[in-house]
Structure 1
Amino acid sequence: MIRTGDGNLLRADVDALVNTVNTVGVMGKGIALQFKRAYPSMYKAYEGAAKNGEIRLGRMSVWETNQMTGPRYIINFPTKKHWKAKSRLADIESGLIDLIRVVDEYGIKSIAVPPLGCGNGGLDWADVEPLIVAAFQAIPEVDVLLYPPTGTPSAASMPTNEPRPPMTAGRAALIALLDGYSSQAEASTSLIESQKLMYFLQVAGEPLSLRYEKAWYGPYADNLRHVLKVVEGHYLRGFGDGATAVMDAEPLDVLPGALDAAQAFLDGHPDTGKRIERVLELANGYETPYGLELLASVHWIAKEDPRASGDADLLVKEVQKWTPRKGRMFSEMHIRRAWENLRGKGWVTEPAHV
């Protein structure tokens, strides 16, 4: 019997959970990242099998949980070769044939199945669902919970069983800065705001090794995203599995005990505390995603084009042509005020005249 599942697939009360994977040993996003966090030993086994060339399209990789409660098996279903690639219907079809074999061979009576190859894989659920339904008609006695692509579960519902990562200078600075900002803003911190806050902290002199580049929402560092992924569920909550679009993402909250751990680390780094205070002072009055994107975008232009640091007309022009979105969103008045704020607080200096 096939029923529609809802909520978080990893919390389904079934014999087996199906996880969608690639063949190269990476579980970096989406439901695969959720499985990696919930079953770290499974991930190590999968990673090793991938290195040995044992993870192949059309072939299931089964891992026994050996738990007294919960699912007995995790079935890794390869939906694409490389994590950057798109899924193909032919690989879903061949994989379903082997999935049915595994379910029958292992005596599985109930199973939870995600939308195979949809989401990051790019396939259409209207094409995939009939294939899954048709495949399980061969074993109608099995109870199937089929999860459509209805959105990412809440970050709080995603189990984390990985060991807590050690505190580092960069993680401590992130936690302390986000906590200070959320207190100042009287609201949780969005992903956009976290990117801009850490951008300014690095500009202030904190050695973070964040690789910022010019992006859609202003300066963006992809390796900060990797930091958020590591600390999720341990020090911060809200990043989830990283699959949600930035404008739809949950805000980031500092978890209980995280600030104490960060402050204990930072007690020996007084310069970091001073830099955090300087960033928070700059952000005063700009505590929204709009405000921080505006400040960071104006600063980026002034930094990248020394002429613009002393020419407000040129700076306005460059900010507004960054993207059509910025051109519509950021008014000349707001850009000029942000520029004046940055200059007045010593974040932007005029070029020397010869």
Structure 2
Amino acid sequence: MYGDNKVASFSVTIERQQDLFTLSSEYSLAHCVAADLRMSRGIASVFKAKFGQVEKLREFGPRVGRVLWLRDQERFIYYLVTKKLSSGKPDYREMWNSLLDLKRRVLWSGIRKIAMPRIGCGLDGLEWRKVRNMLEEIFQGTGVQILVCRFNPKSIPTPGTVDCRRTALRDLGHGLPTIANEFRDEIGFNEGAMLQRLHLLRRV
């Protein structure tokens, strides 16, 4: 729900007008990159300038659908590899699998607070509401809080309250259900009984 202060709060994600890089170190950071690790545009270029160590990231052997990470004192900087080339575009399957890997990494490290931009929704062109619903679905029940930071205070919409559990299944009618049909054998979609939830779409 968006309040008068234009903070959007759901069960997992909180969206706020705030500079991502001014947050305290209690927040680990996450953003999207291509497997080529060029990071030459958008917020990825800021991450590159601030945290560097690109060669160290390359040592992980970047693969689409996986997450790379750097240690920044007591926090982590996560790089979600959502596409092969910087010149390309991700799809929802790649975003979904990257978020599943992020969940595994975060829980393994004991991280409880993550901050990120509207991942995949700037130059990459994905729809934020769909990506946000993925975050809600994947991280529900984990105790992980995700703070989504916005730079432009005039660009946040002000809709009414949204039931994210319902929206995650209903509003992705041409998003996740399509992915489930096309990639039914994907490991990611078996995790968390996501397919079972998607089969309920027509009843919502």
TM-score, with structure 2 as normaliser:
0.63
Give per-residue Cα distances to partners, 1:278-312, cap 9 Å, x unaligned: xxxxxxxxxxxxxxxxxxxxxxxxxxxxxxxxxxx
Q: Kindly indicate whether structure 1 or structure 2 has the higher relative contact order, using CA contacts under 8 Å at least 6 residues apart.
A: 2
| C-alpha distance in structure 2 between counterparts of 1:57 and 1:138, whole Å | 26
**Structure 1 residue 116, shift from structure 2 partner:** 2.0
Secondary structure of 1:86's match? coil
**Residue 123 (structure 2) pairs with residue 116 (structure 1):** no
Secondary structure of 1:121's match? coil
Richer in strand (by share): 2
Q: Which residue of 2 aligns with 1:97?
A: 100
Identity across the alignment (%): 28
| C-alpha distance in structure 2 between counterparts of 1:127 and 1:149, whole Å | 20
The within-5 A match list for 1:187-202 is: none
**Structure 1 residue 149, shift from structure 2 partner:** 7.9
| C-alpha distance in structure 2 between counterparts of 1:123 and 1:149, whole Å | 18
Question: Highest CA radius of gyration, 1 or 2?
Answer: 1
Measured at CA, do residues 136 and 77 of structure 1 come closer, stay the same or move farther in structure 2, by a change above 3 Å?
A: same
Richer in helix (by share): 1
One-letter amino acid of the structure 2 residue matched with residue 127 of structure 1: K
Q: Which residue of 2 aligns with 1:49?
A: 59
In the alignment, is the contact (CA less than 8 A) between 1:118 and 1:124 conserved in 2? yes
Q: Structure 1 runs of 4+ off > 4 angstroms?
A: 148-151
**Residue 5 (structure 2) pairs with residue 12 (structure 1):** no
CA RMSD of aligned residues (A): 2.2
Secondary structure of 2:59's match? helix
Q: Which residue of 2 aligns with 1:85?
A: 88
Q: Which residue of 2 aligns with 1:154?
A: none
Q: Which residue of 2 aligns with 1:229?
A: none
| C-alpha distance in structure 2 between counterparts of 1:89 and 1:150, whole Å | 25
In the alignment, is the contact (CA less than 8 A) between 2:19 and 2:150 conserved in 1? no
The within-5 A match list for 1:233-272 is: none
One-letter amino acid of the structure 2 residue matched with residue 37 of structure 1: A
**Structure 1 residue 114, shift from structure 2 partner:** 2.1
| C-alpha distance in structure 2 between counterparts of 1:148 and 1:80, whole Å | 23
| C-alpha distance in structure 2 between counterparts of 1:148 and 1:129, whole Å | 14
Q: Which residue of 1 aligns with 2:45?
A: 33
**Residue 69 (structure 2) pairs with residue 62 (structure 1):** yes
The unaligned stretches of length 5 or more in structure 2 are 1-11, 154-204
In the alignment, is the contact (CA less than 8 A) between 1:10 and 1:35 conserved in 2? no
Give per-residue Cα distances to partners, 1:256-277, cap 9 Å, x unaligned: xxxxxxxxxxxxxxxxxxxxxx
Count of matched residue pairs:
142
**Structure 1 residue 40, shift from structure 2 partner:** 1.9
Secondary structure of 1:116's match? coil
The within-5 A match list for 1:154-303 is: none
**Structure 1 residue 148, shift from structure 2 partner:** 5.4
The within-5 A match list for 1:271-350 is: none
**Structure 1 residue 64, shift from structure 2 partner:** 0.9
The unaligned stretches of length 5 or more in structure 1 are 152-354
Q: Which residue of 2 aligns with 1:254?
A: none
